[in-house]
């Protein structure tokens, strides 16, 4: 954890945001008293591999249906009706 003043925050905003994005927590102080905290937002967890593969296969099936000559609207309607 790092502390910094509001003045330094104004001067070095980009650098401090990069530090926070890298996982550091930065405490912002006014006259030596902590008033705020700068930290990275939590990131979305990565998509499970099985889900990613399923989506890619479904897209390939949809593409194959369109390439076989069916109309895009028909292929999309069939895909939508699966759920």
State the pLDDT at residue 58: 86
Query: Confidence band (pLDDT; 50, 70, 90) for 29?
Result: very high
State the pLDDT at residue 45: 75
State the pLDDT at residue 8: 96
What's the angle, vertex CA 45, arms to CA 9 and CA 2, rounded to 5?
25
Query: pLDDT by residue (tens digit) across 34-79?
Result: 999 999 987 777 789 999 999 999 888 878 877 766 676 776 777 6
Ramachandran region, residue 13 (left: φ > 0; alpha: ψ -120 to 50; beta: rest)? alpha
- Does 20 have pLDDT greater than 80? yes
């Amino acid at each position: 954890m790092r502390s910094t003043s509001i003045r330094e925050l104004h001067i070095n905003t980009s650098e401090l945001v990069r530090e926070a994005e890298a996982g550091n927590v930065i405490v912002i102080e006014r006259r030596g008293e902590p008033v705020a905290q700068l930290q990275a937002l939590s990131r979305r967890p990565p998509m499970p591999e099985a889900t990613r593969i399923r989506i890619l296969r479904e897209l390939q099936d949809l593409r194959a249906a369109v390439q076989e000559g069916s109309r895009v609207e028909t292929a999309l309607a069939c895909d939508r009706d699966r759920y």
